[in-house]
């Protein structure tokens, strides 16, 4: 048997001796490293245990999971001591799809899946090519066909019957798809050497960012009809969509401007030296680098923006949050709004958490 001899002069790695049970060792290092730390851990554990216990009691042990259709008596019986999850199977189709015709609800469901697939594909670095733009155009067109119908044997469904999750995804995605190019133009405008264009861009960004989104939405819902020639009427959803695009454009412009500032001067000079025109210089050399710099903050802006679409509730558009709020107007189920809000919060959380994980991953990747 060969014996590996420890060379006495070799520097020993500063490593704690590995004695004792690994679990105990971990506990000692992470929870009980000092007396105050130990007291803190015990207090926190007690609070956590109490919190988890009461939530499990309310949300699992005493909860009602299913009731016969349209019957909330079982839920009323446990009111205050148990959750009424039965409201979710009762109302989920209304919450997810609003007043979209019941038999046609596979269409918004399919649209939601298409949206998710589109987001997933767009998140893959390997697919960041020109074809992705065509894919976006294609999928968004397909979703419009699915939602509206009226062609290919699909029955026509007017916009005022849309609701729920597809509306939230439409507002966010179209807001992004149009707000992004707008943001690029405004960001370029803000860094332009031409004073008129620069001041217009600054004015636009500062005005939009200076006021709350709520007031922009009020403006869209109340003032838009005033702006248009009489007799010209555009849909409420489209009006809100325009407000959201203008809002997104201003915020994205600021993020992209940050990216433009991070591109080294030499890149601009090299592009000028090649004799490229302004647009070719930006399209081929500057913007790809600028956007690559700001992908993590861009994703964070998308998250903020996805959450902000819920504000259309205030002007009465049937997005996911509005359908949730409407679902509990029903007198029989009125008292169980907490359960519905938790359900909807979980949906929002899944989307936003996925995006935030992705952004974190990108930050890690770019640091390496």
* Interface residues toward another protein, by CB under 8 A: 30-31, 33, 37, 40-41, 44-45, 48, 189, 193-197, 200, 207, 210-215, 218-219, 222-223, 225-230, 278, 303, 307-308, 310-311, 313-314, 321, 325, 337-338, 341, 344-345, 348-349, 352-353, 356
CA distance 119 to 95: 22
Nearest-approach distance from CB 113 to another protein, in angstroms? 21
CA distance 20 to 216: 63
Task: For another protein, give the closer residue by CB, 26 or 134.
Answer: 26
Structural tokens at position 34? 């000092």
Nearest-approach distance from CB 242 to another protein, in angstroms? 13
What three-state secondary structure class fits 351? helix
Nearest-approach distance from CB 50 to another protein, in angstroms? 13
Nearest-approach distance from CB 28 to another protein, in angstroms? 11
Residue 97 carries which DSSP code?
A: H
Task: For another protein, give the closer residue by CB, 131 or 363.
Answer: 363
Structural tokens at position 184? 């690029």
Task: For another protein, give the closer residue by CB, 128 or 348.
Answer: 348
From the list 125, 159, 154, the residue with the least C-alpha distance to 142 is: 154
CA distance 226 to 224: 5
Q: What are phi and psi of 156, to 5 degrees?
A: -80, 135
Task: For another protein, give the closer residue by CB, 160 or 206.
Answer: 206
Instruction: Burial-class residue 32 by CB neighbours within 10 Å (0-12, 13-18, 19+).
Output: middle
CA distance 149 to 36: 65
- Could you tell me how far CA 283 lies from the centroid of its own chain? 27
Task: For another protein, give the closer residue by CB, 61 or 222.
Answer: 222
Nearest-approach distance from CB 199 to another protein, in angstroms? 10
Number of neighbouring beta carbons within 10 Å of residue 63: 18
Cβ partners under 8 Å of residue 289, min gap 6: 259, 263, 267
Task: For another protein, give the closer residue by CB, 121 or 200.
Answer: 200
Nearest-approach distance from CB 131 to another protein, in angstroms? 31
CA distance 220 to 241: 9
Nearest-approach distance from CB 178 to another protein, in angstroms? 16
Nearest-approach distance from CB 337 to another protein, in angstroms? 5
Total residue length of the chain:
368
Task: For another protein, give the closer residue by CB, 107 or 305.
Answer: 305
Task: For another protein, give the closer residue by CB, 31 or 121.
Answer: 31
CB 153, CB 220: distance < 8 Å: no
């Amino acid at each position: 048997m060969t014996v590996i001899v420890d060379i006495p002069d070799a520097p020993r790695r500063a490593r704690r001796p590995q004695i004792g049970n690994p679990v105990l060792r971990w506990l000692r290092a992470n929870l009980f490293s000092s007396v105050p730390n130990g007291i803190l851990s015990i207090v926190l554990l007690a609070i956590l245990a109490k919190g988890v216990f009461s939530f499990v009691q309310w949300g699992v042990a005493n909860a009602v999971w299913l009731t016969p259709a349209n019957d909330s008596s079982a839920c009323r019986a446990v009111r205050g001591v148990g959750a009424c999850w039965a409201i979710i199977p009762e109302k989920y189709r209304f919450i997810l799809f609003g007043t979209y015709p019941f038999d046609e609800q596979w269409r918004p469901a399919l649209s939601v899946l298409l949206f998710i697939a589109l987001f997933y594909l767009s998140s893959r670095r390997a697919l960041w090519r020109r074809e992705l733009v065509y894919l976006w155009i294609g999928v968004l067109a397909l979703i419009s066909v699915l939602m509206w119908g009226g062609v290919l044997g699909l029955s026509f469904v007017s916009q005022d019957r849309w609701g729920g999750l597809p509306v939230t995804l439409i507002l966010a995605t179209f807001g992004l798809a149009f707000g992004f190019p707008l943001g690029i133009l405004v960001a370029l405008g803000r860094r332009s050497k031409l004073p008129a264009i620069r001041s217009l861009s600054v004015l636009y960004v500062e005005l939009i960012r200076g006021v709350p989104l709520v007031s922009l939405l009020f403006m869209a819902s109340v003032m838009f009809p005033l702006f248009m020639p009489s007799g010209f009427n555009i849909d409420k959803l489209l009006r809100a969509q325009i407000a959201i695009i203008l809002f997104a454009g201003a915020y994205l412009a600021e993020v992209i401007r940050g990216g433009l500032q991070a591109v080294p001067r030499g890149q601009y000079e090299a592009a000028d030296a090649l004799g490229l025109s302004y647009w070719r210089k930006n399209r081929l050399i500057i913007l790809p680098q600028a956007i690559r710099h700001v992908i993590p903050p861009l994703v964070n802006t998308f998250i903020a923006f996805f959450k902000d679409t819920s504000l259309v509730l205030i002007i009465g558009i049937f997005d996911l949050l509005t359908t949730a709020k409407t679902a509990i107007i029903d007198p029989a189920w009125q008292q169980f709004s907490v359960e519905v809000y938790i359900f909807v919060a979980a949906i929002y959380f899944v989307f936003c958490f996925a995006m935030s994980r992705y952004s974190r991953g990108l930050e890690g990747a770019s640091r390496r």
